[in-house]
């Protein structure tokens, strides 16, 4: 279905989420959200994020897309495979999005800020819901599935590390900075309300950026 991560380089910069998804679908990297499989994945992403994987039943999933629970197994071999597929799609989309954001940045500092904002948008925006699942439900995945997702994630993490190195974060340990940022940013899912009159996502990105850079 998807051959290589290099294909992503062809994705033009500065697309809207919808356009980006459209492009990736055309390239066969993402499932068409209008297809039965795509609607299932979107519903799963939404429910797994809201209720958690263990607390979401196959029946909930089926009801959400208007089919019966038995029919789900025409699309996926198991519930865990659905989680795995969600994580893969989320990873692919987030990678494309990050690359696009990182490339359009002027200076190294701006690049890191763009990465932070891109990840925050992935976590909180409805475009491809489910990013927080990557962290929160990691342990619900079998080791084999973890391996699959990890491979897809490599490019994503490479972009991050490049940005951190270039921005010269303190502590001269880019990997540690990234790890702290993963936790810090994914945890925003639990407390940050983008719809609040308070902080916006760009503002939150900005403040986080300033805390992590000297």
Partner DNA sequence: GATGAATGAGGATTCATTCAT
Partner DNA sequence: TATGAATGAATCCTCATTCAT
Task: Select from a copy of itself, DNA, none the partner in contact with residue 139, using the beta carbon and a kind-dependent cut-off of 5 to 8 Å.
Answer: a copy of itself
**Selected binder of a copy of itself within 130, 186, 201, 205 (CB under 8 A):** 186
Q: Does 21 bind DNA (CB under 7 A)?
A: no
Q: Does 212 bind a copy of itself (CB under 8 A)?
A: yes
Provide the 8-state DSSP code for 8.
G
Q: Tell me the number of residues near DNA by CB under 7 A.
A: 20
Cβ neighbourhood burial of 50 (10 Å; 0-12, 13-18, 19+): exposed
Residue 48 makes CB contacts below 8 A (sequence gap 6+) with 56, 83, 86, 130, 133, 137
Where in 112-131 is the site for a copy of itself (CB under 8 A)? none
Please answer whether residues 181 and 115 qualify as being in contact, where contact means their C-beta atoms are separated by less than 8 angstroms. no
Q: Does 67 bind DNA (CB under 7 A)?
A: yes
Q: Does 33 bind DNA (CB under 7 A)?
A: no
Cβ neighbourhood burial of 179 (10 Å; 0-12, 13-18, 19+): exposed
Q: Which is nearer to DNA, 11 or 83 (CB)?
A: 83
CA dihedral 73, 95, 112, 209 (to 10 degrees): -10
Q: Does 4 bind a copy of itself (CB under 8 A)?
A: no
CA dihedral 169, 112, 90, 131 (to 10 degrees): 70
**Of 3-11, 72-80, 85-93, 191-199, which segment contacts DNA by CB under 7 A?**
72-80
Please answer whether residues 59 and 71 qualify as being in contact, where contact means their C-beta atoms are separated by less than 8 angstroms. no
Where in 39-68 is the site for a copy of itself (CB under 8 A)? 51-52, 54-55
Interaction site with a copy of itself (CB under 8 A): 51-52, 54-55, 135-136, 138-140, 169-171, 173, 176-177, 179-188, 190-191, 207-208, 210-212, 214
Interaction site with DNA (CB under 7 A): 36-37, 56-59, 66-75, 77-80
């Amino acid at each position: 279905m998807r051959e290589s991560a290099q294909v992503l380089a062809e994705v033009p910069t500065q697309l809207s989420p919808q356009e980006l998804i459209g492009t990736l679908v055309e390239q066969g990297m993402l499932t068409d959200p209008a297809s039965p499989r795509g609607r299932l994945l979107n519903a799963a992403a939404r429910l797994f994020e809201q209720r958690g994987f263990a607390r979401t039943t196959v029946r909930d999933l089926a009801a959400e897309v208007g089919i019966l629970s038995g029919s789900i197994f025409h699309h996926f071999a198991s519930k865990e495979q659905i989680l795995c597929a969600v994580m893969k799609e989320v990873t692919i989309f987030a990678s494309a999005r990050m690359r696009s954001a990182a490339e359009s940045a002027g200076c190294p500092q701006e690049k890191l800020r763009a990465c932070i904002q891109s990840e925050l948008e992935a976590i909180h925006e409805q475009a491809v819901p489910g990013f927080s699942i990557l962290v929160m439900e990691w342990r619900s995945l079998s080791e084999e599935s973890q391996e699959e997702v990890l491979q897809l994630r490599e490019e994503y993490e490479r972009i991050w590390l490049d940005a951190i190195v270039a921005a010269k974060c303190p502590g001269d340990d880019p990997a540690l900075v990234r790890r702290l940022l993963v936790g810090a940013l994914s945890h925003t899912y639990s407390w940050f309300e983008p719809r609040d009159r308070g902080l916006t996502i760009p503002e939150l990105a900005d403040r986080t950026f300033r805390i992590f850079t000297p």
